[in-house]
Amino acid sequence: MKAVVKFFILSLTFFFSSSGFSQISGIVFRDYNANGTRQTGSTYNEDGVINVTVKAYNSANIEVGSVVTSSTGAYSFTGLSLPVRIEFIAPLIDDYSGVVGTGSQSSVQFHNATTTTANFGINYPDQYCHTTNPNIITTCFVNGRPAPGTSQTDVIVRHPYKCNR
């Protein structure tokens, strides 16, 4: 009888101690092509981002955890009380939140599930060239008025720009 009571108490303790806590992990990555999904492979690879601060807040808006992403962009929280708000703080001022898609959400995310993957794509537009020689488009202004009977046709011009990446 004592063994059954001990087992029952241990079971209840485990149930109540684990039911309201969560494990949240994920990867922060460079979303070079801004599609909201991380691509990895031999021909195209969106790298994980190191040193991104990831903070967790409880429902009372109190910070309950803070981690920094590893060299692969990975991070993890365990034992967070639910619900929880996760915020990502990019290391560079020129980093922007990537596109929200199937593999990336916004820089502020809310989670209620006990096990959650929370990925975040960031985008630094200068790091992505879709071609080796993109066209640059700009306006073209001419000083003075055109002569009577003539017209100004080139108000927008384009020219190739050598991408050095």
pLDDT in tens, 132-161: 677 788 887 777 777 777 766 667 888 777
pLDDT at 88: 93
Highest mean pLDDT of the ranges 4-13, 110-119, 127-136: 110-119
The chain-wide mean pLDDT, for the chain, equals: 78
C-alpha closest to that of 38 among 88, 129, 132, 101: 101
- Report the predicted TM-score, pTM, of the whole model to 2 decimal places: 0.64
Task: Name all domains of the chain by residue range, CATH numbers in brackets.
Answer: 21-127 (2.60.40.10)
- For residues 130 and 121, the answer to whether their CB atoms sit within 8 Å is no
d(CA 122, CA 52): 10
- The answer to which of 44-53, 63-72, 83-92, 145-154 has the lowest mean pLDDT is 145-154
d(CA 87, CA 97): 12
* Size (the chain), residues: 165
Burial class of 162 by CB neighbour count within 10 A (0 to 12, 13 to 18, 19+): exposed
